[in-house]
Amino acid sequence: MRTIYKICPAPAWREAERAGVYRGSPDDVRDGFIHFSTASQVPGTLAKHFAGQADLFLIAVSADALGTALRWEPSRGGDLFPHLYGDLDPAAADNIATLAVGADGLHRLPENLT
């Protein structure tokens, strides 16, 4: 199983759980797909798009569970990033971790990030 990750403000994810669907962030909606990152891409995504932001969740999802709606496309630095063309069922989340922000302003990643 290949795990991919969505960084999401906790209130937005809680709302998605209540609604039974996550349609993405404003940036996702603008771009026409839900942005995900691999484990190795998460630190760069946090630094570029979420620096210093608190109350974030790191949502782990099996890439295989998303089927053909998931595409791997070039993005930052030419790396292939996972993009979901469709809504995400919150029940597809394998794990939800809170991303703490240290005194240095950097996010603390879970030790089991794979």
**pTM (2 d.p.):** 0.93
SS3 content of the chain, % helix, strand, coil (to 5): 30, 35, 30
Question: How many residues are there in the chain?
Answer: 114
Predicted confidence (pLDDT) per residue in 39-66, tens digit: 999 999 999 999 989 999 999 999 999 9
In the structure, what pLDDT confidence band is assigned to residue 105 with cuts at 50, 70 and 90?
confident
Q: Establish if 113 belongs to a structural domain.
A: no
At 100, which amino acid appears? A
Question: Does residue 55 fall inside a structural domain?
Answer: yes
- Expressed as residue numbers, the domain containing 66 is 3-99
Which CATH number characterizes residue 11's domain?
Answer: 3.20.170.20
pLDDT reported for residue 114:
58
Does 107 reside within a domain?
Answer: no
Tally of structural domains, the chain = 1
Q: What is the pLDDT, as a whole number, of residue 102?
A: 87
Phi–psi pair at 11, nearest 5 degrees: -60, -35
Give residue-wise pLDDT tens across range 11-45: 999 999 999 999 999 999 999 999 999 999 999 99
Unique residue bearing structure tokens 């950097």? 106
Does residue 50 lie within any of the structural domains? yes
Confidence of residue 7 (pLDDT cuts 50, 70, 90): very high
